[in-house]
Amino acid sequence: MSEPSRFDRGHTDDLMTFLAASPSPYHAVANTAERLEKAGFRQVAETDAWDGTSGGKYVVRGGAIVAWYVPEGAAPHTPFRIVGAHTDSPNLRVKPLPDSGAHGWRQVAVEIYGGPLLNSWLDRDLGLAGRLTLRDGSTRLVNIDRPLLRVPQLAIHLDRAVSSEGLKLDKQRHLQPVWGLGDDVRDGDLIAFLEQESGLTAGEVSGWDLMVHSVEPPAYLGRDRELLAGPRMDNLLSVHAATAALTAVSGGGLPYIPVLAAFDHEENGSQSDTGADGPLLGGVLERSVFARGGSYEDKARAFAGTVCLSSDTGHAVHPNYAERHDPTHHPRINGGPILKVNVNNRYATDGSGRAVFAAACERADVPFQSFVSNNSMPCGTTIGPITAARHGIRTVDIGVAILSMHSARELCGADDPFLLANVLVAFLEG
């Protein structure tokens, strides 16, 4: 077995590039695929017959991607080692009839996707990105990565209570971005603009999945640049680290089949054909077993020996709100990855999962921290319990502690991303 690759600050620099280039799940998947291709992985179509050859392969379905590396000589019952993550982040998404406006303003009608910190979307310069589906059924990524839209906050003179009673935002009325001026708003204006920007002919687009993003690039922050501010760390930080880890271990003779599973729709419950609560991952793993000549028995043996690390962000202790955290579990920024525990199965971790994670951290020579919610606060959840229940796969919830989760611009440590990547390498190598 090769020595674990050691990632450092260069990994975090690369994360900044990945975050900036991935304003939608579709972009995150395309950028992940590009990195996999560079490492020798090849895309397989779900509609094709699969063969049992060794090497790196991946499947793309919408905003989800599953990649795996079959080592030379892997048996049909060889277990998998999976890193699970999600590609989606809370944001504002374009409605079916987007063209609206009032009082001389041109506006875009948006829905709220997931649970964003709504205030964080105010007074930011916003771009527009996502996927266009053309009349011929093909899809095209689009990314207007310049200040195009803004959700302007009401001036304090017109909302004196904001300082004493807090900001109150109505999701329907107060979050519709402006994108210019004009009294002549017509149906089709926004899509016609995107067709023009994408070099398409008018009327070519017949479907769209579009969302807004902050165009402010990620940046190091702090006295010693020990922090990283940027968008969508929840959870592209994990997608990026898992991709780096999978490409680092591929090519070696491994005791397990390493897998990356990056799902869409975690932020609204994972119930879709590209979400963790769908059959995507199980189908890919099963087909991989059968393509290598395996039987149902081989699949059952492989799944029984499989472990999934579900990696997502968690809460670092906030200096201004320390009482909201458990008094003795205080994950710190740059203190290493976190092990997420909840006895009521909001996280899938148990004692045996802890041991798997602790062993990977030890092999990688990386410290880890434990996260548990304050008993008086409802605990968040992620794809871990869903993956465990849906596929009967032993799963451990882990991740990186950040501040401002679900803000348009989150905050993490500059070291934690590469510490996580190093642990994922050790885990995938077994």
At residue 391, φ and ψ (nearest 5 deg) are -115, 0
Min dist. Cβ of residue 323 to Zn ion (A): 24
Q: Determine the interface stretch with Zn ion among 110-118, 283-291, 292-300, 308-316 (rule: CB under 5 A).
A: 308-316
The angle subtended at Cα 356 by Cα 353 and Cα 358, nearest 5°, is 105
Determine how β-strand 178-181 pairs with β-strand 139-149: unpaired
Min dist. Cβ of residue 399 to Zn ion (A): 8
Strands in 150-304 per DSSP E:
178-181, 205-214, 219-221, 227-230, 257-263
Min dist. Cβ of residue 312 to Zn ion (A): 4
Say how far residue 162 (Cα) sits from the centre of its chain.
33
Q: Under the criterion CB under 5 A, does residue 264 sit at the interface with Zn ion?
A: no
Binding letters toward Zn ion, positions 311-340, x by CB under 5 A: -x----------------------------
Q: Determine the interface stretch with Zn ion among 69-77, 144-152, 307-315, 327-335 (rule: CB under 5 A).
A: 307-315
Q: Under the criterion CB under 5 A, does residue 310 sit at the interface with Zn ion?
A: no
Q: Under the criterion CB under 5 A, does residue 14 sit at the interface with Zn ion?
A: no
Q: What is the dihedral of CA 340, 343, 348, 352, to 10 degrees?
A: 90
- Which of residues 176, 235, 349, 387 is near Zn ion by CB under 5 A? 235
Say how far residue 275 (Cα) sits from the centre of its chain.
11
Is 12 or 235 the residue whose CB approaches Zn ion more closely?
235
Whether 157 has a binding-site annotation, put simply, is yes
State the Cα–Cα distance between residues 108 and 152, nearest whole angstrom: 13
Min dist. Cβ of residue 135 to Zn ion (A): 35
Is 28 or 144 the residue whose CB approaches Zn ion more closely?
28
Q: Determine the interface stretch with Zn ion among 147-155, 231-239, 246-254, 384-392 (rule: CB under 5 A).
A: 231-239
3-class DSSP assignment, residue 119? helix
What residues have CB less than 8 Å from 274, skipping those under 6 apart? 61, 62, 63, 64, 263, 264, 265, 280
Which two structure tokens, joined as six digits, stand for 189? 């204006």
Is 64 or 142 the residue whose CB approaches Zn ion more closely?
64
Min dist. Cβ of residue 269 to Zn ion (A): 12
State the Cα–Cα distance between residues 430 and 360, nearest whole angstrom: 8
Min dist. Cβ of residue 86 to Zn ion (A): 6
3-class DSSP assignment, residue 170? coil
User: Is there a contact between 401 and 343 (Cβ–Cβ < 8 Å)?
Assistant: no
* One-letter identity of residue 83: V
Is 149 or 261 the residue whose CB approaches Zn ion more closely?
261
Residue 261, CB-side half-sphere exposure with 13 Å CA sphere: 30
Is 303 or 347 the residue whose CB approaches Zn ion more closely?
347
Q: Determine the interface stretch with Zn ion among 120-128, 293-301, 309-317, 415-423 (rule: CB under 5 A).
A: 309-317
Q: Under the criterion CB under 5 A, does residue 415 sit at the interface with Zn ion?
A: no
Whether 406 has a binding-site annotation, put simply, is yes
Whether 329 has a binding-site annotation, put simply, is no
* One-letter identity of residue 88: D
- Which of residues 209, 234, 397, 429 is near Zn ion by CB under 5 A? 234
Binding residues for Zn(2+): 86, 157, 406
- What residues make contact with Zn ion under the rule CB under 5 A? 234-235, 312
Binding residues: 86, 157, 406
